[in-house]
Amino acid sequence: MTDRSKVIPSRDFRWQGIDVRRYKEQDGDGTSTEPAGFLGVIRQTLLGQEHEELGLELRYFEVEAAGYSSLEKHRHPHTVVIVRGDGHVILGQEIQPVAAFDCVYVAPWTMHQFRAGRDEPLGFLCVVDRDRDRPQPATAEERRAIEESEEFRRVFGGGS
């Protein structure tokens, strides 16, 4: 197709010809013993990287059962549609249950994390601005405040 319009076929939540990547590249020299702050997440960038005309990127993320994305905030917003499984999303002080086809908006500077349920992966499509600021991971203090909150204990029980 001369205009680069296309269909990317999918099967079982994988898209043909699209690399399945680690969620985030390792920071620094890779020798840090700090926990990475996320568990069992893969990423496929479906649209945007090779499309200068697009002001956005469309990605698919999948968090394995009992896994979680990084607890982070940033200026750019996220628009998300859950497409697989269920789990919870942390949005600032709130923790909301999510399941397939729920739509999530993460506003600028909202601390957020996606957490899969115990039994199956949580998969979601996420649209972001092509040009965006780097995520700022939660500080130890911010993480502790959330993980020791009554809301967190009510939903997840003890620690993370």
In whole angstroms, what is the distance from residue 58 CA to residue 84 CA? 16
Active site residue: 71, 126, 128, 146, which one? 126
Distance between the two ends of the chain, CA-based, in angstroms? 48
In whole angstroms, what is the distance from residue 122 CA to residue 99 CA? 8
Establish whether 126 is a catalytic residue: yes
In whole angstroms, what is the distance from residue 116 CA to residue 152 CA? 14
Residues taking part in catalysis: 126
